[in-house]
Structure 1
Amino acid sequence: MERALLVYTTFADAETALAVGESLVRDRLAACVNVLPGMRSVYAWKGAVERGAEVVALVKSREGLGPELAAALKARHPYETPIILHLAVDAADPDTLAWILAETTGAA
């Protein structure tokens, strides 16, 4: 059986994260997107150390949609180089996995 996929990404604000998340769910690339506000980041960017406020988005999907999901996320993301990390899920509750698989079929 196909495994679940968790994708970690960040956005500058919650409204953008929610809008992109909703589009991914509507396109059946994600079963759910959790948006966690209030994160502070320190990061290297173009030779400088930057600080900023961001939100985390955790995208719940299926492993087979990884490339399609990443492409859709990049196309909709406002960052020049968005963080898109595919986090392997070794196991999931059977009911949770069944729900994720039922809700994700990929873009039509």
Structure 2
Amino acid sequence: MALSASKNIKRNFQVALCTAPDIDTAESLAEKMVKQKLAACVNIVPAITSVYQWQGDIEKDSEVLLIIKTAEELMADLGDLLETEHPYEVFELISCDIEQASAAYLQWLNDEL
């Protein structure tokens, strides 16, 4: 299977990452993202451990990772959704460009967003 950055599609697709405190929160956020067409797909990875500094202390928490497939122009709206729906005071939303993928997958992303 050849990978490509489909020439027929003029959107910049992204993979975004966001953590949530538990599976229920992750599923709720994912469903809202997909329903509102802010994400074509959200993978939920349970039982990750996050180690980070918060207010001067080193913290270690169990979290759930959301892997969000979206488009660059939807990132601001995705941030707005998380701003109102996410329980964390400071939530994670970071993204990377999808440089290559199968043409069929890119077409599916385009059709779903």
Same-fold call, TM cutoff 0.5: yes
Identity of aligned residues (%): 33
Contact 1:3–1:97, Cα closer than 8 Å, also in 2: no
- TM-score, structure 2 normalization: 0.87
- The 1-side partners of 2:17 and 2:26 are apart by 12
Structure number, greater radius of gyration: 2
Summarize deviations over 1:11-68 as a string: whole Å, max 9, x none: 1101110111001100011111110001011110011101110010001111221111
Count of residues in Structure 1 that have an aligned counterpart in Structure 2: 104
- The 2-side partners of 1:48 and 1:25 are apart by 35
Q: How does 1:19-30 map to 2 (within 5 A)?
A: 19-30=28-39
- The 2-side partners of 1:101 and 1:78 are apart by 30
Amino acid corresponding to residue 95 of structure 2 in structure 1: H
Q: Kindly report structure 1 stretches of 4+ aligned residues shifted beyond 3 Å.
A: none
Structure 2's unaligned 5+ residue stretches are 1-9
| 1:42 equivalent in alignment to 2:51 | yes
Give how far 1:89 is off. Answer: 1.4
Partner of 1:29, secondary structure, is coil
